[in-house]
Structure 1
Amino acid sequence: MTPLQNLFESLRGQNRKALMPFLTTGDPNIDTTEAVVAAARRAGADLCEIGVPYSDPIADGPVIQASYQRALDAGFKLQHVWDLGQHLTDNADVAAMPRVTMVSYSIIYRIGMAKYVEQAMQAGYCGAIVPDLLVEEADEFSKVCQEKGFDLIQLVTPTTTRDRQCRIAELSSGFLYYVSVTGITGERTALPADLVDNVGWLREQTELPICIGFGISGPETAAQLAPVSDGLIVGSAIVRRVAAAVAQANESGTDPVKAAADEAGEFCRSLRSAIDAA
């Protein structure tokens, strides 16, 4: 079994839902990213999605786009993702927590499918979320991932046809990423009325865990979605808080790494409490 399969089996046995924060590698630097991941883990995060900055993000809203640009402006290279993975593996607070990359398929294709998987696994990652990999072109990469025991996580959106949803599920492993809203990433105060029914239908078609992302702004929306999901992915709300904490610390002359970690930890703790209560 892969680390993700083990995690979700364990969570089911405990009747718990996964909390998965998203963070951008190197925003504003690797030390901050590592400290925030560790703080999220201590606050109850079960796994973590590590964003690979890319100059042309597919579905990311302004908050995550800005974080990618900050990292790129600071000189981000793919090696930084591997360095971060190694740092997290060496960090006792985080070492046991599964970690996956959120990465454009163009990056994987450019360096080679097998090579990407090998480098990711060597750095301690157990899977990849690939938002721009078309299901018609996913067979080869899916096979590479299966051979290596590396999970390929793909996205299902509200506009994905049901036949296509089933095909995506067949070529995915670890979990399915269900996009809660039509559009880009970002915080929302209201979620679609048909979300519960759509996730319920998909659950009948696959044995994969279903994690919901896009639009989760805080404990209230987390509590709404926890009963119908196997896990919740929270990105923009965390990335925004980290950026604000860093900016404020820089202005006041305090430690920006600690400020970012404290802010992210407090927010993740509130999400964890809401998810567990729901």
Structure 2
Amino acid sequence: MKKTALITGATAGIGRATALKLSGMGYDVIVTGRRAERLEKLTLEIEGKGGSCRTLCFDIQSKDEVDKAMDSLGEQLDNIDLLVNNAGLAATAEPIQSGSWEDWERMIDTNIKGLLAVSKRVIPGMIKRSCGHIVNLSSIAGKEAYANGNVYCATKHAVEALTKGMRIDLLQYGIKVSSISPGMVETEFSIVRYHGDKDKADAVYKGLTPLTAEDIADAIEFIVSRPPHVNINDILIMPTAQASAVYNHRS
């Protein structure tokens, strides 16, 4: 019987690459995001390769929208085998004293509350079946704070804590809980962080070769393809040119 995976934030970057990867592994995928046209394009690509894809278009910052989307799944909601909590963003790179309250709320509502809203709806079905796997997308920012990262780092530290708490709470039900913590990955991440300033976004990766979305999807493939008795708690994955959140080598 084919397994079902739900991937949040699948309109671009890591989420999109993960949806393609999991579909190629034989999963029926449910993809979520705010941009309907991109979700439709992803569906066509997956179905064109013989896969199965269902889309849910909603803003993960709104619990009402999350609940409405989850309700639309009907019985399928209780039969999700894999949840990839990928939706997340950095909305600013300012020191704490000059940060925008709106940017802070956006990060907290997406990175923490959005993850919780979706997980709360998916977990009961996994408990009923005494099986399932949750993979949370964390970050090097969840392990180290850095200048101008303040609230973003705080949200990813929260993801780290939530992952550990989930793993403990769901242990008795045989549910695996994992996280993956990437360093520099070249996606739309920096474009969003710098509010569309492409020059600033490009400068983040200048002089080095960052990770790609496909690199992270490959790591997720490894996490979810382990035998039943093996759980990968966390993978910290960095480009060769990056040693930590703040140390990197540029040519």
Interval of TM-score (by shorter of Structure 1 and Structure 2): 0.3 to 0.5
Q: Normalization by structure 2: what TM-score?
A: 0.36
Q: Which has the higher helix share?
A: 1
Higher relative CO (CA 8 A, sep ≥ 6), structure 1 or 2?
1
Q: Normalization by structure 1: what TM-score?
A: 0.33
